[in-house]
Homo-oligomer: A and B are copies of this chain.
Amino acid sequence: MTDDPPFSPALLPAGFVDLLTPDARTEAEGVATLMGVFASHGYDRVRPPLMEFEETLLAGSGATLADQSFRVMDPDTRKMMVLRPDITPQIARMAATRLGAAARPLRVSYAGACVVVVPAAAEESGRQIMQAGIELIGPDSPQADAEVISVGAEALALLGVPDVSFDLTMPPLVPALLEEAGISASVRPVLMRALDRKDAAAVAELGGAAAETLIALLRATGPADQALEQLAHISLPPRARVFSERLAATVKALRKTNPDLRLTVDPVEFRGWKYHTGVCVTVFAVGRAEELGRGGRYLSSDNEPACGVTFRPDVLFRTIPAAAPRPRVYLAPDADQQVAARLRAEGYATLGALPSGPSHGTDPEHNRAEALRLECGFLLSGATCTKLD
């Protein structure tokens, strides 16, 4: 044992926080709003558990999450369980097992907490992260990619998140291009890092036969229509071209349903996309560093095509106005309980008087003082509700 300083009971582990009112309520009501929009598009809610066996959760597309997962031993089976760092792999598991025989397209939604060992660099929000999202399992088409983004955009609009930007990428494009251009496997990681830094000089030096194409790709970024226009003029080998055309088709499908969406494209971006096989999206509020959400196309368990988008309610709630509090009414001891019930039904919060001394409840001035002390804007005595100022 070391000589630790005295331990503060208020101390929480880094990355874990207490939310108070109104934040806790804003988050909960925000989740309810998101889930309502998802349900209105036929995404059925599921609730996978907080913990699973390591062997199932970290199989397949979950393997990339191994570093981010807290593990404990199940005393029953002596197998390792993980605290989920992400819900999407759980949905993939369910889609292949209990929902394996459900009709496709399979649309599911979910909301819940996850825990990661180390938070992503840009995130102030820590190691307990909230997720609320949708997965669309079965179809592999630009319309499916567009649907999840479109439903997500509708949910954010209803929440009132301002200045949302959907940044589209195609992570498998560059790897396909490097392979098709015959870039040697030993150079690829260095070249990928140079692309990640948008370092055109290094790309020119390392890119070999693909250098010119890669530099053109680096420039084909920005607002979607302009970036796709540039992308269309870049000559790509066959597999890379399929990815490029799919990106363009997804934007086209999205424009059809959401002509006013703020869309950007970066065909070279791949960072943070691990198990993804097609169009990916990162959602930002303009001017904020933290991601509001992300999603993309991947192979679900059993290699079934799937795409989805996951929002971070704990981040979202900081971009929207706090949930409006219920106006508070202090109930004097003689308050008419039927009137109090009616006030609650109308959206007020009623706070009952509780005995606190011999003068309890007999003195109107005492009731008024109690009401003000408890931040009540109204006082109900008998059947009379008075606004306090």
Contacts and interface: CB of A to CB of B under 8 A. Distances in A.
Contacts of A86: none
Given A115-B50, A344-B41, A7 B70 contact: no
A97 interface: yes
A328 interface: yes
A28 B18 contact: no
A182 interface: no
B99 A352 contact: no
Nearest to A60: B9
Oligomer: number of copies: 2
A17 B139 contact: no
Contact of A16 (B24, B52, B118, B345): B52
A200 interface: no
A308 to B, nearest CB: 14
B348 A56 contact: no
Interface string A343-377: 01100111110111000000000000000011100
Interface residues of A, number: 88
A21 B45 contact: yes
A250 interface: no
B18 A46 contact: yes
A93 B23 CA distance: 18
Contacts of A59: 9
A338 to B, nearest CB: 12
Interface stretch (A75-83, A225-233, A280-288): A75-83
B71 A46 contact: no
Please give me the 3 A-B residue pairs with the lowest Cβ-Cβ distance, nearest first: A10-B97, A16-B49, A21-B44
27 contacts: A9-B93, A9-B96, A10-B56, A10-B97, A11-B53, A13-B53, A13-B81, A14-B76, A16-B52, A19-B47, A19-B48, A21-B45, A23-B47, A24-B110, A25-B45, A32-B32, A39-B326, A40-B344, A42-B350, A50-B113, A50-B128, A72-B83, A103-B374, A103-B375, A105-B374, A139-B354, A143-B355
